[in-house]
Structure 1
Amino acid sequence: MADIESATAQNLLKAFMQFRKTGWHEKKIGGYNPSEFKVLAAIQQGANEKNEEMKVSEISQRLQVTPPTVTQIINILEKDGLVERAVDPEDRRSVKIKLTQAGMEATARAKNRFTENFTGLIDYLGEEESEQLADLLDKVHHYFNEQSR
């Protein structure tokens, strides 16, 4: 077992701290915060898969967050004219969410920006190192999931 004082452990800790400080996962994507982007993308993906609007509960399941969290984000996106609510004609108690035309355009722009970030990283690292990084990050994720059980 590695010693926490070892050079390798110190290098890993330093790398994790530097990576976290970049805040890459908190930065706006195409002008939207990550949670807004995720909701927009989930609605678009749901519409593409089922060719219909999505319920808040479906979005929350897809994103693995609570319905009240999704509702708060939907309120912001609706105010910005990116989504609209419609009463489900089959169940008047249910509300379905869909992207407006402006929402579809904003989602496409944000997805392009998101993709550019990762293709830029691949260009910077190269294909081989990018694959290695993806494999290593997957192992790190698995390791920390196992530790939390």
Structure 2
Amino acid sequence: MGFKPSEIRVLFCVARGDMKVSEISKRMHVTSPTVTQVINGLEANGLVERSVDLTDRRAVRVQLTQKGEAVRQKAGEALFSSFSGLIEYLGEERSNELAELLTDAYVYFAEREASLHQSQWSGDEIL
């Protein structure tokens, strides 16, 4: 589609509702300056627009434009098509095994990250 994966990820993130840059960066686990760079490009292409947060005039909120929603929808359809093709290629049983393994990997990394974060604040040594 001509967009970078980071741009598509931001579009999907912002599609949940208008968000502050800091909220987007937290959800994506990247710095605010990184998100700002991506948003600058998306805004230049007419995919997102910024507005001042009504409750905090220092903050900027980002929302999708109609064009941005159309691009996000096309990207979602392409992703769905890719996964459908993968499922067809692997078959149902192997696809289920893959889903279980990916879920286990996600849980492992989430628990590891939580443990590391807790260790940082409790004074425990981090490995």
User: TM-score w.r.t. structure 1 length?
Assistant: 0.68
- Please, which of 92, 95, 98 is the counterpart of residue 57 of structure 2? 92
- Please, which of 95, 99, 121 is the counterpart of residue 86 of structure 2? 121
Matches of 1:90 and 1:136, distance apart in 2: 43
Runs of 4+ in 1 over 6 A off after TM superposition: none
The equivalences for 1:2-81 within 5 A come to 30-45=1-16, 47=17, 53-81=18-46
Aligned to 2:119: none
Matches of 1:95 and 1:136, distance apart in 2: 39
* Percent identity over paired residues: 50
Instruction: Return the offset for 1:140.
Output: 5.4
One-letter amino acid of the counterpart of residue 11, structure 2: L
Instruction: Return the offset for 1:136.
Output: 3.0
Instruction: Return the offset for 1:42.
Output: 0.3
The superposition leaves residues 104-137 of structure 1 with CA deviations (integer Å, 9 ceiling, x where unpaired) of 1110011110111111100111111011122234
| Residue range with higher mean Cα deviation, 83-92 or 103-112 | 83-92
The equivalences for 1:128-143 within 5 A come to 128-139=93-104, 142=108
- Contact 1:31/1:110 (<8 A) preserved: no
What value does the CA root-mean-square deviation take over the aligned residues?
2.1
Bigger Rg over Cα: 1
Give the secondary structure class of the aligned counterpart of 2:59. Answer: strand
Instruction: Return the offset for 1:139.
Output: 4.6
How many aligned positions are there?
112
In structure 1, stretches of 5+ residues that fail to align are 1-29, 48-52
Give the secondary structure class of the aligned counterpart of 2:58. Answer: strand
Matches of 1:115 and 1:32, distance apart in 2: 17
Matches of 1:98 and 1:111, distance apart in 2: 18
One-letter amino acid of the counterpart of residue 32, structure 1: F
One-letter amino acid of the counterpart of residue 55, structure 2: E
